[in-house]
Chain A
Amino acid sequence: MNTFDYVRPATIRDAVAAAAEPGAAYLAAGTNLLDLMKGGISAPTRLVDVTHLPGLDRIEDLPDGSVRIGALVRNADLAYHGDFARRFPAIAEALLSGASGQLRNAATVGGNLLQRTRCPYFYDPASACNKRNPGAGCDARGGDNRLHAILGWSESCIATHPSDFCVALVALDAVVEVEGRAARREIPLETFHRLPGDTPDRETMLEPGEMIVAVRLPAAAARFAAHARYLKVRERTSYAFAVVSAAAALRREADVIVEARLALGGVAMKPWRAREAEQILAGAPANLSLFRRAAAAGLAAAKPSGDNTYKIELAQGVVVRALTLAAAGTPERMPALPGSPFAASSGVRTHA
């Protein structure tokens, strides 16, 4: 790890000023940043420790019915917050499906949004990576890419975003509140993360020095509590990133879907909001055939970026299952294996 200056500002304004210098990075828990620094992928020369900034670790109900989650709220605290988990079960389930108990205890909301891809070529300084080194090339193309993107990728970059939390947030129209040199501003999470295009090194809409202070869920997001699930397919029962995941949230009246929200993880460099699928679902009676049509629409633009053609079919299956699980209703208790196809006693038969 390179040596660095360490500063611990007392106010957000001081933090922003310290972080606006080139080579500076924000340090929250450090569960991603320190890993990147140890791997030689990130080498900030100044760490701006924000963990002691006041007022950023609250979960607040706002007068307009929205909920503001401070950027320093720990992943575990959010997931286990009884009231929050009841209103936003898919978000809680997504959080609990990610990482490990230890990592969830430390990692912050802000850090989760800003975590970097786990593409092995990004993580390997000896490999060519346009994200780390614009113009260097993309060694993932033609390499080990079985877990890489099928949507929104470009010739420059086929990596995926690893967060589970963000998938559920995007499905529910979360908004990111940001502080910078200028006034506080807001960015819908759906546009916060950028697709690679020709500039995979530009990953978010943040300007240098800007700091996430909160994530806000609009009042509408709480309408789905009765039918909201997160589903995560992975190569181990726990402690592994998604191969493909989905957050599905429905509003039902009898067997008709009034409104649907759907976002996919593990398929692109950002959570993939499947609006075409949502439109097919809205107003239609919930059944398997509807879900399959929605899945097909949601993945219509999918293209393999390497040895990952299977992901397209898998993603369709994940969509159908996530919708099926959501339609059946949010379980009363968080499953023992959150997000898992093996989360038993869902009461839902997976196949006729």
Chain B
Amino acid sequence: MNFSISLTINGARRNVELDDPRTTLLDLLRERLDLTGTKKGCDRGQCGACTVIVDGRRINSCLALALSLDGADVRTIEGVAQAGRLHPVQEAFIAHDGLQCGFCTPGQIMSAIGLIQEGQAGDDPERVREGMSGNLCRCGAYQGITAAVLTAQKALAAASRKEVA
């Protein structure tokens, strides 16, 4: 059975023909749309490597059925840097060495962007740590990750204050 869905991916509207109802958003991105930046670490919603932002919220794409996302707005790691300029979260991850092997990194970054947008953790390191605990890092880059999120949060908060002013 074929299904036709419409997704906005990184700002671009796409019509997607799904030949298999079982396809998750993760496998749609990676295996059919050649957007391999999002990684599969466990496929069971237990590691966060597959985190993307759907309709403004960070979710595990491995547990999202593509079919049920008709009309959704999807943001992946490929859409984060704009016109060759890194996002403050990306810059902060590099500056604080919040990555080692890099496999969990796209998920960490999408999760961080989502966390900052949720606006609950603010500049409290403990809340940031808790909020980022859905992204496992076996290399153990947590110190750098937390520092990166705090730095980026500050930069983004300052930027939005500037906008408002």
Contacts and interface: CB of A to CB of B under 8 A. Distances in A.
A and B touch in the complex (CB under 8 A): yes
Contact of B59 (A3, A6, A106): A106
B44 A100 contact: no
A226 B134 CA distance: 30
Contacts of A5: 1, 21
Given A101-B134, A238-B133, A34 B65 contact: yes
A80 B58 contact: no
Contacts of A51: 68
A336 B126 contact: yes
Interface in A79-131: 80, 99-103, 105-106
Given A34-B65, A102-B51, A4 B21 contact: yes
A239 interface: yes
A161 B60 CA distance: 23
A336 B3 contact: no
A237 B133 CA distance: 9
Interface stretch (A9-17, A24-32, A263-271, A303-311): A24-32
B161 to A, nearest CB: 22
A49 B67 contact: yes
B41 interface: no
A203 B60 CA distance: 27
B63 interface: yes
A8 B68 CA distance: 8
A213 to B, nearest CB: 19
B143 to A, nearest CB: 15
Interface string B118-156: 101000101100111111000000000000000000000
Given A105-B57, A105-B58, A337-B126, A49 B68 contact: yes
B84 to A, nearest CB: 28
A101 B60 contact: no
Nearest to B128: A336
A101 B149 CA distance: 15
Contacts of A101: 58, 111, 114-115, 118, 131-134
Contacts, number: 98
A1 interface: yes
Q: How large is the interface on A (under 10, 10 to 19, 20 to 34, 35 or more residues)?
A: 20 to 34
A102 B38 CA distance: 15
A317 B4 CA distance: 55
Contact of B67 (A6, A29, A336, A337): A6
A103 B22 contact: no
A38 interface: yes
Given A1-B22, A102-B51, A103-B134, A27 B68 contact: yes
A102 B3 CA distance: 27
Contacts of B132: 101
B20 interface: yes
A106 B56 CA distance: 11
Contacts of B118: 76, 80, 101
Given A102-B59, A106-B57, A337-B126, A239 B133 contact: yes
B45 to A, nearest CB: 6
Contacts of B65: 27, 30, 34, 47, 49
A48 to B, nearest CB: 11
Contacts of B120: 80
B64 interface: yes
A39 interface: yes
B76 interface: no
A102 B64 CA distance: 11
Interface string A230-272: 0000000111000000000000000000000000000000000
A35 interface: yes
Contact of A29 (B63, B111, B131): B63
B24 interface: yes
A270 B59 CA distance: 27
B130 to A, nearest CB: 6
- A-B pairs with lowest CB-CB distance, top 7: A100-B134, A238-B133, A336-B126, A105-B57, A336-B127, A106-B59, A6-B21
Given A103-B45, A106-B64, 8 more contacts: A6-B3, A6-B21, A31-B60, A34-B45, A100-B134, A101-B111, A101-B118, A238-B130
26 contacts: A1-B22, A4-B21, A6-B67, A27-B65, A34-B64, A35-B45, A38-B43, A47-B21, A47-B65, A49-B68, A76-B118, A80-B118, A100-B135, A101-B114, A101-B118, A101-B132, A102-B48, A102-B51, A102-B58, A102-B134, A103-B59, A103-B134, A106-B59, A106-B63, A106-B64, A238-B130
Interface of A: 1, 3-6, 8, 27, 29-31, 34-35, 38-39, 47, 49, 51, 74, 76, 80, 99-103, 105-106, 237-239, 336-338, 344
